[in-house]
Amino acid sequence: MLKDELSKLDISRGVYKRELVSQIEQILRDHGFSIHEVEVDKPWGAYIRLSDTDATGFTNEFFKYESVYTGLPISPKILIVEPGRRLSWQYHHRRKECWEFITDGAYCRSDTDDLGSIQSARSGDVIKLEREERHRLIGNPINYTLVAEIWQHTDIGKPSDEDDIVRLKDDYMRS
């Protein structure tokens, strides 16, 4: 199983990010997935975006017990968060997100602009984020955090993409 192979990777602090990303890319290809985009220069880590045509296989692998099909495009990604890093506090107007933690990490979520408390997440935890729900993904302080993510587009007239991110606190500093 893909999830099992990813969870067995060496994610310790001493691993080079580009090497970890390369290993994940190879595992994804070995499982028949097509890589659409790889971004390794994010201030918080990296991501690997799969082809939208891989959405069904990806959701069957990571989200098979969740209701994720909306009739609109679903964009699958693997997020790689460096130890102690975090994504911006953000929300989206035209999409929902669903995360499955492959390794341990943390997150914040809120219906308001207030950050709220940090919630721990264990491997296997699934977090469903509604459209316009504020959220932040936070890396484990010791190891890389790996997360399977899907964007569930919600506006048939205007599918969302990167331009749909509203950053509330544009910081990527250590948590």
pLDDT in tens, 95-135: 888 999 999 999 999 888 888 889 999 999 999 988 888 89
Task: Say whether pLDDT at 40 is over 80.
Answer: yes
Task: Say whether pLDDT at 175 is over 50.
Answer: no
pLDDT at 174: 41
* DSSP bridge partners of 166: 91
Structure tokens at 132: 């316009």
Query: What is the per-residue DSSP string for the chain?
Result: -HHHHHHTS--BTTS-HHHHHHHHHHHHHHTTPPEEEEEEEETTEEEEEEPGGGHHHHHHHH-TTS----SS-EEEEEEEEPTT-BPPEEEESSEEEEEEESS-EEEEEESSSS----EEE-TT-EEEE-TT-EEEEE--SSB-EEEEEEEEE--TTS---GGGEEEEE------
| Single-letter residue type at 165 | I
Task: Say whether pLDDT at 12 is over 60.
Answer: yes
pLDDT band at 68 (very low <50, low <70, confident <90, very high): low
pLDDT at 63: 85
| Single-letter residue type at 32 | G
Interval 151-171 mean pLDDT: 61
pLDDT band at 172 (very low <50, low <70, confident <90, very high): very low
Task: Say whether pLDDT at 57 is over 60.
Answer: yes
